[in-house]
Amino acid sequence: MGTQNKIKMDCLEPEKAWELFQDNVRDETLNSHPDIQNLAKQVDERCSGLPLALIIINYDMACKTTLREWKYSIEMLKQYVLPKIENEVFPLLKFSYDNLPDATMKCFLYYCMYPEDYCIPKKRLVEY
């Protein structure tokens, strides 16, 4: 399956990355503790302006409202993020995967058994 047009997506400038981060993480979350805004900026910086990384990590962080959850997530991100940008997407995706609920992770692994573009019957999805 080929592509007709390729679009090069550059990393976002820090200000734009922070805007994207704030768009995806609710104000309620960012304001749930006085220190969370500073921790959120650390998470944002770890994503190195990569839009996909920002969206994936923001999805995971959106429901975290305690200082403990944010600090733990930052420590986890420090383990995954590598210095070169081209090596950062995989570790960020792995971080997101590692934080999936068990049931969701099992579903994801189940779907991975099928080849790309394979048509999975609806009945089979419901059974699992």
Q: Locate tokens 């302006």: which residue?
A: 49
**What's the rounded mean pLDDT across residues 10-30?**
86
What are the boundaries of each domain within the chain? 14-100
SS (H, E, C) 50-72: CHHHHHHHHHHHCCCCCHHHHHH
Distance CA 84, CA 12 (A): 16
Written as six digits, the tokens of 20 are: 């994207």
pLDDT tens-digit series, residues 63-99: 888 999 999 988 888 876 545 555 666 777 788 888 8
What is the pLDDT, as a whole number, of residue 126?
66
Residue 1 has pLDDT above 50, yes or no: no
What is the pLDDT, as a whole number, of residue 115?
78
Residue 122 has pLDDT above 80, yes or no: no
**Cα→Cα distances 112→22, 77, 120, Å:** 32, 24, 11
What is the pLDDT, as a whole number, of residue 15?
92
Distance CA 5, CA 115 (A): 24
User: For 14-100, which CATH class?
Assistant: mainly alpha
**pLDDT tier at 49, thresholds 50, 70, 90:** confident
Torsions phi, psi of 98, nearest 5?
-65, -20
pTM, to two decimals: 0.59
